[in-house]
Amino acid sequence: MPNSFSIPRLLMNRLRAVMAAEMDTQARLKQVVRLIADTMIADVCSIYRRTTDDRLELIATEGLREDAVHRTFLTLEEGLVGRIAMTAEPLFIQDAPRHPDFSYRPETGEDPYHAFLGVPVLKGGKVIGVLTVQNQTERLYQDDEIDSLQTIAMVLAEIVPAGGGGPEQTGNARAGRPVNLEGRILCAGLGMGRVRLHDPVIPAAKFFAEDAQVEEHRLESAFEELHLSIDRLLAAEIGGLWGEPREVIEAYKLLASDPSWAEKLREGVRGGLSAEASIDRLRREHRARFEKVKDPYLRERLHDLEDLDNRLLRVLAGSDEIATNGESGSDEPEVLVARRLGPAELLDYGKAGLAAIILEEVATSSHAAIVARGMGIPTIGGIDGLLTHVSNGDTVIVDGEEGNVHLRPDDALLRAYETRRTLLGERQAVFQALRSEPTESKDGTPIRLMLNAGLGLDLDHLNSTGAEGIGLFRTEFQFLMSDRLPKVKDQIELYQHVLDGADGRPVYFRTLDLGGDKLLPNLNDAREENPALGWRSIRFALDRPGLFRRQLRALVRAAADRPLSVMFPMVTSAHEFREAKALLISELERSRSRGFTGPSELSVGAMLETPAFAYALEDIAEEVDFVSIGTNDMLQFFHAADRMTPLVSDRYPFVSRPVMRFLKQVRETCARFDIPVSICGEGAGRPLEALCLIGLGYHSLSMPAGGIGPVKRMLRSLDLSKFGPAFASLLQQREPALRNGVLELVRLQGIILDDA
Ligand code: PEP
Ligand code: MG
């Protein structure tokens, strides 16, 4: 998008009037094309919209045959219009019929037109339509005409109806129509509420300013208010993420002071746009660049810029608390809908008002998804084109159990939702009641159920679930959520906070587990053929001893006079364990020699995540204090099936003879060498899997918060003296499939499996 900006004042005034007038969408579109054709002295002006089946439908025209409207459909590969939709770039051509992409459609009667200019109509970073003008003569359109047409396309994005085909859809196509969308579960749970769009939306009627001077004044006041509010944010205490939000806000402060950002916005306003529209224009530019850029660092910067645009829009909208994105004050639960979301932004919303979150982006490991899980907000991601379907205030059901989103649900869906909520509530009440019961099997074998955590926020779950401690604290989250590498001081602060929160209950700190899907810009983001098998976890940490030592120092110092348990991720060989342990001991000695109180007790463990390590255990039996099996990684290596690739990640069952026989062997090795062993992968939190693990003799399981209730319920119904031998004999047989065999035992022995 060019930086200079102009749009003929006459056209602007007339467009403003058309946008403000009461009329249906089809009539409005017709008026818009007529106005554009008139003012730009074009023989044709047409609007195409992208249908849900990815065709381009002619929905309004001035100059082509009227009866072609809603009857002409192009594919995305077809013609100049298709090309614009595919590239999301403007296209201008002096002599269209001679262009290789030209496609002739006799029903439109367009034979004599030569000059062609088209621009994409973009919404939420996606092409939802195309706006074109054509002239009979061969002419070149000027830069300011292209610029004008892009600005008009921006207004059109608000009135071009989304979705299906046919004239009956135009108008209020979106209002009232139920839509079901499928996505990926980022945080399980069920939620319903009114849509709250994260990115402020500007009504089409507010695009053009009546008085440019007044508008410039509004913009300047908004700048001032933005700066003040950022300073207020920096002065305020923002808890929860240790340093990260502060750095994000500091980055905003720098961006907000960038003169070129402000100047671009002023240009738009001087050209006749409203302050909001001028920001929106720039926001679209940032988004369009975002879609194209692959570099993670640049993407973060562009996202920050877009976020700043949004903050400024909120200031203009009069929300006096832009820091908190405004908790709406309404009692109705809200479902936050965003293209993507930063962790700090999510924290800004506060926990209270959000019933659920829906994101266009997909990554389960995205930082917002991690925070959402910490907050326990049902979240679904990976819904392409989401924003073209939703409007502020729509009712939506987020089914984070099945991975579905039901927009504007009908009565039947609403009733089904209520039923499921009631059931869920009843189940939660059962789990709550179990909290004070002993964590042991029906026949009295105590089993330790611990929590997997990674954020300060997760500590809340310690009390709410009654977990016995934190069996896995993923320290890398602090690094992933921060713009800069956390300083030793920040790390100490976090570890102390965790130990304080655990209040004497054990915490197993897992040292930095970066790499694989957990990348840090400029640190370990080199492209690899097989990242899961690559330079990651302890391999990376040992190759970056400076970084690793600082973490070990922080752990040792944070523990001062309290017991400390540290474990190293993805150890593959005895040598790696020894090297890592030596670094830890040397940091301990260093700290002591400098007068720091060391931990009262130190226990050093290793995560068993590679099958190879199972056969190295006996070599380090005297040196390792405990082993924790990370079944998420262990299974992907065991089955050679990438855990991040949906096509294979669930292909091989956990409850299978090969997996169980392997785990049995590990259990026996640990028993032989007197090494305490526990399990900390996600599987430990699923009742059926937990049952089998307990059956194998694993008596310490660490799991996500949501697993504790269901696993404890299963445990309380389990007679281990009966199940253990029956399971052992099942393992020795060849038939039936292990899972079926276990389910049969469950039925016969009255074990309660409540798969959350
Ligand atoms: C695992 O791999 O099982 C594990 C607990 O670690 P993470 O999921 O963090 O890789
Ligand atoms: Mg792992």
pLDDT band per the 50, 70, 90 thresholds, residue 350: low
pLDDT of residue 152: 86
Least confident of 295-309, 432-446, 454-468: 295-309
Q: Could you tell me which residue, 351 or 752, shows the higher pLDDT?
A: 752
Report the nearest atom of ligand 1 relative to the CA of 629: 3
pLDDT per position as a tens digit, 313-324: 888 877 433 333
Percent of the chain predicted with pLDDT > 70 = 87
Do the domain assignments include residue 1? no
Co-location of 131 and 195 in the same domain: no
Do the domain assignments include residue 174? no
pLDDT of residue 554: 98
Over residues 674-681, the mean pLDDT reads 96
Asked whether the predicted pLDDT for residue 120 surpasses 70, the reply is yes
Asked whether the predicted pLDDT for residue 165 surpasses 60, the reply is no
Least confident of 327-341, 651-665, 731-745: 327-341
pLDDT band per the 50, 70, 90 thresholds, residue 597: very high
pLDDT band per the 50, 70, 90 thresholds, residue 596: very high
Asked whether the predicted pLDDT for residue 510 surpasses 50, the reply is yes
- Which of 110, 139, 164 is the C-terminal boundary of a domain? 164
Q: Could you tell me which residue, 201 or 618, shows the higher pLDDT?
A: 618
Q: What Å distances lie between residue 433 and 703, 713, 716, CA to CA?
A: 20, 10, 12
Burial pattern 522-534, b for ≥16 Cβ within 10 A else e, equals eebeeeeeebbeb
Q: Could you tell me which residue, 606 or 367, shows the higher pLDDT?
A: 606
- Which of 434, 468, 498 is the C-terminal boundary of a domain? 434
- Which of 262, 285, 316 is the C-terminal boundary of a domain? 316
Give the structural domain span for 337.
179-200+326-434
pLDDT of residue 247: 62
Handedness of CA 197, 199, 201, 206 (dihedral sign): positive
Q: What Å distances lie between residue 103 and 68, 81, 497, 591, 700, CA to CA?
A: 15, 9, 65, 75, 68
pLDDT of residue 142: 80
- Mean of pLDDT over the chain: 85
| Residue 427 to residue 591: CA distance in whole angstroms | 48
Co-location of 125 and 135 in the same domain: yes
Do the domain assignments include residue 688? yes
Asked whether the predicted pLDDT for residue 391 surpasses 50, the reply is yes
Do the domain assignments include residue 497? yes
Q: Does the C-beta of 476 come closer than 6 Å to ligand 1?
A: no
Do the domain assignments include residue 607? yes
User: Which residue's CA is the closest to the ligand 1 atom numbered 9?
Assistant: 474
Co-location of 427 and 446 in the same domain: no
pLDDT of residue 124: 67
Look up residue 727 and give its two tokens. 């399971």
Q: Does the C-beta of 633 come closer than 6 Å to ligand 1?
A: yes
Asked whether the predicted pLDDT for residue 374 surpasses 70, the reply is yes
CATH number of the domain within which 10 lies: 3.30.450.40
Do 300 and 481 form a contact (C-beta atoms < 8 A)? no
Q: To test the ligand 1 pocket, which listed residue (609, 613, 654, 693) has its Cβ within 8 A of the most ligand atoms?
A: 609
Residue type, 264: K
Look up residue 338 and give its two tokens. 């965003």
pLDDT of residue 168: 35
Asked whether the predicted pLDDT for residue 716 surpasses 70, the reply is yes
Q: To test the ligand 1 pocket, which listed residue (680, 701, 702, 703) has its Cβ within 8 A of the most ligand atoms?
A: 680
Co-location of 543 and 658 in the same domain: yes
Q: To test the ligand 1 pocket, which listed residue (450, 458, 472, 473) has its Cβ within 8 A of the most ligand atoms?
A: 472
Look up 187 and say whether it is catalytic: no
Q: Could you tell me which residue, 219 or 125, shows the higher pLDDT?
A: 219
Provide the strand spans (E) within 143-302. Answer: 179-182, 184-187, 190-197
pLDDT band per the 50, 70, 90 thresholds, residue 455: confident
pLDDT of residue 166: 39
DSSP 93-134: ES-GGGSTT----GGGT-TT--EEEEEEEEETTEEEEEEEEE
| Distance between Cα 467 and ligand 2 center (Å) | 21
Do 712 and 752 form a contact (C-beta atoms < 8 A)? no
Q: Which of 45, 680, 692, 699 is catalytic?
A: 680
Residue 684 CB neighbours (<10 A)? 28
pLDDT band per the 50, 70, 90 thresholds, residue 341: confident
Asked whether the predicted pLDDT for residue 242 surpasses 50, the reply is no
| Residue 519 to residue 455: CA distance in whole angstroms | 17
What strands, in cross-sheet order, belong to the sheet with 115-123? 73-75, 55-62, 44-50, 126-135, 115-123, 91-93
Over residues 385-407, the mean pLDDT reads 87
Do the domain assignments include residue 268? yes
| Residue 19 to residue 78: CA distance in whole angstroms | 31
pLDDT of residue 3: 38
Co-location of 18 and 56 in the same domain: yes
pLDDT band per the 50, 70, 90 thresholds, residue 227: confident
Give the SS3 label for residue 357: strand
- Where does 350-459 have alpha helices with state H? 367-375, 411-434
Q: Does the C-beta of 609 come closer than 6 Å to ligand 1?
A: yes
pLDDT of residue 304: 73
User: Which residue's CA is the closest to the ligand 1 atom numbered 10?
Assistant: 633
Co-location of 535 and 496 in the same domain: yes
Residue 650 CB neighbours (<10 A)? 10
pLDDT of residue 24: 86
CATH number of the domain within which 306 lies: 1.10.274.10
The number of C-alpha atoms within 13 Å of 304 and in the hemisphere containing its C-beta is 20
| Residue 273 to residue 267: CA distance in whole angstroms | 9
Ramachandran angles phi, psi of 206, nearest 5°: -100, 20
Ranked by mean pLDDT, the top range of 120-124, 126-130, 574-578 is: 574-578
CATH number of the domain within which 347 lies: 3.50.30.10
Asked whether the predicted pLDDT for residue 529 surpasses 90, the reply is no
pLDDT of residue 111: 65
pLDDT per position as a tens digit, 5-50: 455 667 777 888 888 788 888 899 999 999 999 888 889 999 999 9
pLDDT of residue 675: 98
Residues lining ion ligand 2 (Cβ < 5 A) are 630, 633
| Residue 746 to residue 735: CA distance in whole angstroms | 17
CATH number of the domain within which 526 lies: 3.20.20.60
Least confident of 249-253, 284-288, 325-329, 742-746: 325-329
Ramachandran angles phi, psi of 590, nearest 5°: -60, -45
Over residues 218-247, the mean pLDDT reads 69
pLDDT band per the 50, 70, 90 thresholds, residue 509: very high
Report the nearest atom of ligand 1 relative to the CA of 452: 5
Co-location of 559 and 419 in the same domain: no
DSSP 622-640: TT-SEEEE-HHHHHHHHHT
Least confident of 214-228, 335-349, 437-451, 687-701: 335-349
pLDDT per position as a tens digit, 65-82: 999 999 999 888 888 899
pLDDT of residue 460: 84
Co-location of 357 and 425 in the same domain: yes
Look up 670 and say whether it is catalytic: no
pLDDT band per the 50, 70, 90 thresholds, residue 364: low
Residue 139 CB neighbours (<10 A)? 15
Co-location of 523 and 421 in the same domain: no
Choose among 425, 343, 429: nearest CA to 379.
Answer: 343
pLDDT band per the 50, 70, 90 thresholds, residue 239: very low
Asked whether the predicted pLDDT for residue 695 surpasses 60, the reply is yes
Over residues 675-691, the mean pLDDT reads 95
Over residues 376-393, the mean pLDDT reads 83
| Distance between Cα 569 and ligand 2 center (Å) | 7
Q: Does the C-beta of 683 come closer than 6 Å to ligand 1?
A: no
Over residues 279-300, the mean pLDDT reads 74
Co-location of 72 and 143 in the same domain: yes
Choose among 386, 159, 160, 152: nearest CA to 281.
Answer: 152
| Distance between Cα 637 and ligand 2 center (Å) | 11
Do the domain assignments include residue 321? no
Do the domain assignments include residue 242? yes
Q: Is 21 exposed, middle or buried (0-12, 13-18, 19+ CB in 10 A)?
A: exposed
pLDDT per position as a tens digit, 92-101: 888 777 777 7
User: Which residue's CA is the closest to the ligand 1 atom numbered 4?
Assistant: 630
Q: Could you tell me which residue, 44 or 123, shows the higher pLDDT?
A: 44
Burial pattern 276-305, b for ≥16 Cβ within 10 A else e, equals bbbbbbbbbbbbbbbeeeeeeeebbbbbbb
pLDDT of residue 330: 57
Q: Could you tell me which residue, 7 or 123, shows the higher pLDDT?
A: 123
Co-location of 534 and 617 in the same domain: yes
Choose among 574, 486, 558: nearest CA to 566.
Answer: 558
* Number of structural domains in the chain: 4
- In the block, residue with structure tokens 């392997």: 662
Choose among 303, 309, 315: nearest CA to 344.
Answer: 303
The C-alpha R_g of the chain, in whole angstroms, comes to 30
Co-location of 583 and 512 in the same domain: yes
Ranked by mean pLDDT, the top range of 152-166, 325-339, 617-631 is: 617-631
